[in-house]
Amino acid sequence: MASKRTILITGVTGNQGGAVLQALRSHPAYPSLAIRALVRNPAAAAKKLSDPSITLHTGDLTVASSLAPALVDVHTAFLVTTPKPNPAAETAQGITFIDAAVAAGVQFIVFTSVGSADQNTGIPHFESKRRIEEHLERSGIPHAIIRPVAFMDSFPVAPGILRFLILGMFRTAMRGRTLQFVAVKDIGEVAVMAIMDEAEWAGKAIELAGDEVSVDGLLDVYQAVMGARPWVCWVPGWLLRALLPTDIYLMFKFFYERGYNADIPALQKMHPGLLTLEAFLQDKVGKKTE
């Protein structure tokens, strides 16, 4: 009997890695796959995942020696990195993992970066991912890069002070401009499309978005789905600048001045299930009422 194809997922207990695992579980080929997860705390991960079929490997993206055992006989790896504790550390995570994957003979990497990572934005946590992309290109390992835009998941569904403040910050920063958004669920589903079709995806880099709206358009969607228009905090521009870390302020400045430029109609043809903001909120509201 042929051995199962082994896939390693990083960040499996987080948003993007968790979305990849969920999408894989829904894929018809899932029974033919051997799934591994790279985790820092196996006990906590095992409790959260509740799936004994997933092999957990303890490791740290910045420690090459901890990655080698997890990468043995891996065919495909899903890589997601975070700018913690800082963007330089994120770049180190990506480079260390890619080098370890090359040494282990991994045949394909799917990396989730960030929208416009290739545009020299000057935003530290965008630039850190750009450097990882560049290292991945230099490594020679076959790969696909997914560049998600702003997350729909950043907006809380339920009323509360957090939603009140986040919507207020976005309204002040965007000043009527539109911005592209994507659901984390769709990042997972598109990543799995790449994982399961290496021949089609190798060498590709795509900007991923599912919708484009202004803050007022977003409020319209909330009202349509939830029956009430959210309250929005008034945040003066000077206060927004004072409150935000420089990295996040530069990101909001980029949102207003340039924004993302994903080809949403083409993406919808590629993945017809791509969520709009309205569909995303309907899905979230439905889950909360079940």
Residues 247-265: tens digit of each pLDDT:
999 999 999 999 999 999 9
Torsional sign, CA 267, 270, 275, 278: positive
Q: Return all residues near 208 (Cβ < 8 A) that are at least 6 apart.
A: 115, 146, 147, 148, 149, 182, 186, 187, 190, 262, 267
Pick the CATH number of 5-289 from 3.30.420.40, 1.10.1040.20, 3.40.50.720, 2.40.30.10: 3.40.50.720
Cβ–Cβ < 8 Å for 186, 210: yes
Beta bridge partners of 211: 181
Quick one: angle between helices 87-104 and 124-139, nearest 10?
A: 20
Please tell me the predicted confidence (pLDDT) of residue 289. Answer: 43
What is the rounded distance in angstroms from the CA atom of residue 258 to the CA atom of residue 179?
9
Cβ–Cβ < 8 Å for 194, 27: no
Please tell me the predicted confidence (pLDDT) of residue 44. Answer: 82
| Global pTM exceeds 0.85 | yes
Quick one: angle between helices 124-139 and 246-257, nearest 10?
A: 80
Domain positions in the chain are 5-289
What are the pLDDT digits (tens) for 208-257? Answer: 999 999 999 999 999 999 999 999 999 899 998 998 999 999 999 999 99
Cβ–Cβ < 8 Å for 17, 11: yes
Please tell me the predicted confidence (pLDDT) of residue 288. Answer: 55
Which DSSP helix (H) or strand (E) runs through 65?
helix 64-71
Please tell me the predicted confidence (pLDDT) of residue 1. Answer: 39
What is the rounded distance in angstroms from the CA atom of residue 185 to the CA atom of residue 65?
32
What is the rounded distance in angstroms from the CA atom of residue 288 to the CA atom of residue 174?
29
What are the pLDDT digits (tens) for 25-35? Answer: 999 999 999 99
Beta bridge partners of 35: 7
Please tell me the predicted confidence (pLDDT) of residue 48. Answer: 82
Three-state SS for 44? helix
The mean pLDDT values, 10 residues at a time, for the chain of 290 residues are 83 95 95 93 80 90 94 98 95 98 98 97 97 98 98 92 92 93 98 97 98 95 93 91 93 95 98 96 72
Please tell me the predicted confidence (pLDDT) of residue 286. Answer: 76
